[in-house]
Amino acid sequence: MLNKFKENIYNLFFFLLFILPGIFLFAALSSYDKNDRTIFKFSSLSSEINNFMGVLGSYVSGPMIQSLGVVSYLIPVALIIWAFRALFNYRLTWVAMSSLPLSIIFLCVSFEYYLADFSFFSGGVLGKGIKAYLLNFLIEFENSNLFFLAIPALSLIFLLFTLNIKYLELRFFIKRTFSLTLNFFIFLSYVFRFSKKLKLINLENKKSVRRFKTSQDRVKKSALIKNNPDYDFPSIELLELPEKIEGIDEENKKNAEINTNLLANVLNDFKISGEITDVKQGPIVTLFELTPAPGTLSSSVIRLAEDIARSMSAISTRISTIVGRDALGIEIPNKHRETVYLREILDSKFFRETNNKLPLALGKDIFGKPVIVDLAKMPHLLVAGTTGSGKSVGINAMLLSLLYVLPPDECKLILIDPKMLELSTYEGIPHLLCPVITEAKKAASVLGWVVKEME
């Protein structure tokens, strides 16, 4: 009985010995303020102390934070754990106490080496100094990075010794943590499957069951020809009218005549015999048809593209053969480029009378004629280009081409916009099968459903 009482007094003594400084240090570190006075910084202007533990807390927490960084919290945490283990009759070994400084050293180096970009996870002056010394010392070794890979492992080992955690306790903790994590992911998988099933059901409910009508019937229902009694097509007046600048056409024609004579002289300088038989002026470039003299190789003219551009002070020059004719086409950019408006293409005779099932207005060709293609005849369509080359404008033109001629019961769209920049404008239109998708996981789910529908 007396021995039991002595043992309880002994455990209570060590509990108080560890718990009181542990709580004090934790409160002092948690309320650390860089503006407080410390043994390294004193100012008569800042007499107010913001630390919960007062002047003593400020004088203790300041050097600890500056020397050890965030690793300073290991000291009060270790003291508190030691206190409760002593209360429950767990003897504190010399291994645990001697492992504490080693844990601090390795953790400071680990935080400073791997998490130096985050100021909160700094390893303090100790971590910076040891890291700099090790980098200087190991610079001659080829596999010096392997040493820094081992430091976190050593930190964990010494941390386990410091906290006096036994093997069976560690195994139980890992097993229980793994079990809880596994159950959590199983729960998430059930939730994800259920939500995915709901989304697919909504998609199937929204799916149009009507098949495409003939192209002639579709053209009759076009907004550009006749209003649909069941659906109000967007008005062509919503699109911007083409701006015609006076004198541009005449100036481009004069430039074309000048370039014709200049091109003939340039070709003559490069010993290329031939005659420029035709000049076709487009909105962006002008095509000069060159009929080479007999015996002139096409390759000898094509490889002079850069030299011709330099001689004519042009941005670039493209030379290629003209299919079905004994001539070469030399394209030179116009001095004044014409802006191609979507309205003039959608309002053109070519677009209004097209029989394409899914017409796309792409722009104008080199002769200034509208380019209309049928998406239904393209198994795949890839739009690529550098930044600022017009990918977004092209995609918007294609979408508007469909929206202006096809009602929602004949055209359903699934728009995926991970950047959340390009396609949010179309949110809420009746042609959408589902809201504009901006998350990668949702995109994968919807694309999987689309593949099943196509199969």
Same domain, 321 and 252: yes
Same domain, 329 and 346: no
The rounded distance, in Å, linking the Cα atoms of 355 and 321 is 31
Count of the separate structural domains present in the chain: 3
Least confident stretch, 41-55, 196-210, 376-390? 196-210
Same domain, 285 and 325: yes
Per residue in 247-269, pLDDT tens?
677 777 888 888 888 888 888 88
Q: How is 359-384 classified by DSSP, letter by letter? A: EEEEEE-TTS-EEEEEGGG-S-----
* Per-residue confidence (pLDDT) for residue 220, from 0 to 100: 42
Greater model confidence, 17 or 150: 17
Same domain, 317 and 427: no
| Residue span of the structural domain in which 327 resides | 248-333
The rounded distance, in Å, linking the Cα atoms of 130 and 407 is 70
Same domain, 328 and 348: no
Same domain, 169 and 29: yes
Same domain, 42 and 119: yes
Same domain, 3 and 24: yes
Its pTM stands at 0.45
**316, 333, 350 — which closes off a domain?**
333
The rounded distance, in Å, linking the Cα atoms of 242 and 143 is 66
Answer yes or no: is 215 within a domain. Answer: no
Per residue in 314-361, pLDDT tens?
888 888 888 878 888 888 888 877 788 888 888 888 888 888 888 999
Per residue in 49-61, pLDDT tens?
778 888 888 888 8
pLDDT bin (cut points 50, 70, 90) of residue 112 is confident
**286, 303, 333 — which closes off a domain?**
333
The rounded distance, in Å, linking the Cα atoms of 178 and 175 is 5
Same domain, 299 and 401: no
Degrees, nearest 5: CA angle 104-108-113:
155
Answer yes or no: is 1 within a domain. Answer: yes
Least confident stretch, 37-41, 175-179, 202-206, 420-424? 202-206
- Among 116, 158, 112, smallest CA distance to 134 is for 112
The rounded distance, in Å, linking the Cα atoms of 389 and 32 is 54
* Per-residue confidence (pLDDT) for residue 425, from 0 to 100: 86
Is the pLDDT assigned to residue 370 strictly greater than 50?
Answer: yes
Greater model confidence, 48 or 242: 242
pLDDT bin (cut points 50, 70, 90) of residue 274 is confident
Same domain, 292 and 386: no
**333, 363, 394 — which closes off a domain?**
333
Answer yes or no: is 222 within a domain. Answer: no
- Residue 92's CB is within 10 A of a number of other CB atoms, namely 14
Answer yes or no: is 100 within a domain. Answer: yes
Is the pLDDT assigned to residue 95 strictly greater than 50?
Answer: yes
pLDDT bin (cut points 50, 70, 90) of residue 104 is confident
Helix, strand, coil percentages in the chain from 3-state DSSP, rounded to 5: 55, 10, 35
- Residue 276's CB is within 10 A of a number of other CB atoms, namely 17
Same domain, 320 and 388: no
Answer yes or no: is 94 within a domain. Answer: yes
CATH number for position 426: 3.40.50.300
CATH number for position 293: 3.30.980.40
- Residue range 64-85: mean pLDDT, rounded: 84
The rounded distance, in Å, linking the Cα atoms of 53 and 366 is 80
Answer yes or no: is 351 within a domain. Answer: yes
